[in-house]
Chain A
Amino acid sequence: MEDAIVLKYQVIDGEFQRAGEVSSDVKHKLKQMGVPANIVRKVAIAMYEGEVNMVIHANGGEITVEITPEQIKMILADVGPGIPDVEKAMTAGFSTASDATRNLGFGAGMGLPNMKKNTDSLDIETLLGEGTTITMIVKL
């Protein structure tokens, strides 16, 4: 894939205010590149959910976006606690978010299901105590 455009971002731990800055930047870049609006929307929703999760559940990390004429691939790699039971985490309504997080508008247990719904593939690699890497693909 020689003609892939690659974007790399850091997601900073504890910066709740800034969570979503990466997704916002990617969204506007995709729009500028002329990516169809329905695709931009899916990428934006899935990435934003993932980015917020990296901040509220996982000590931040790195987001890589690879854009080719065929697809948009998002790799969200965090250095958090890992996910003990992925199947459970994927269940709509399941959340371990604290009351403090809920008061900030997150913790409905809808993020991962939203990510699944808005992408063509979602893969979760997770190791307890090490971190989680979520790879999502939206086909163009």
Chain B
Amino acid sequence: MTLRDAAKIIEAEILVGEDLLDQEIGSICGSDMMSEVLAFTNEHSVLLTGLCNTQVMRTADMLDLECLIFIRGKQPTPEMLQMAEDDGRVVMKTRFGMFSTCGKLYQAGAGSGCM
């Protein structure tokens, strides 16, 4: 599954990185606690989160994550989007909540290596 496929499944709006959507997704992690993400997430993973502050961007930077997906329509600030832009990281948002977002992606086969 590519990021583009995932975006379609969860009806996401792309906020940063339209040109980076052909990357394959390795694994996906869903969490609002950054230390959990730091403990259990591989590089080049996708993070689904309901947390929306600069520490999400920093966590993504530390882990070299490939994409951030903000759930429940959370809108990152321009400053946060700039950080992702600088790091070459895809950012999207979906109106669905954590359970539905995970469920849709899992059902579509994005299960392996995911938390």
Contact = CB atoms under 8 A, between A and B. Distances in A.
B34 interface: yes
A24 B58 contact: yes
B36 A23 contact: no
Interface of A: 16-21, 23-24, 27, 41, 44-45, 48-49, 52, 102, 104-111, 113-114, 117
28 contacts: A16-B55, A17-B53, A17-B54, A19-B55, A20-B55, A20-B58, A20-B59, A20-B61, A20-B62, A21-B58, A23-B62, A24-B61, A24-B62, A44-B62, A45-B62, A48-B58, A52-B55, A104-B51, A105-B34, A105-B53, A105-B56, A106-B35, A106-B55, A110-B38, A111-B35, A113-B39, A114-B38, A114-B39
Interface of B: 32-36, 38-39, 43, 51, 53-56, 58-59, 61-64
B63 A110 contact: no
Which applies to chain A's interface (DSSP): helix, strand, loop or mixed? helix
A105 B55 contact: yes
Contacts of B56: 105
Contact of B33 (A23, A110, A113): A110
Given A106-B55, A108-B35, 5 more contacts: A17-B53, A27-B62, A44-B62, A45-B63, A48-B59
A73 B54 CA distance: 26
Nearest to B79: A17
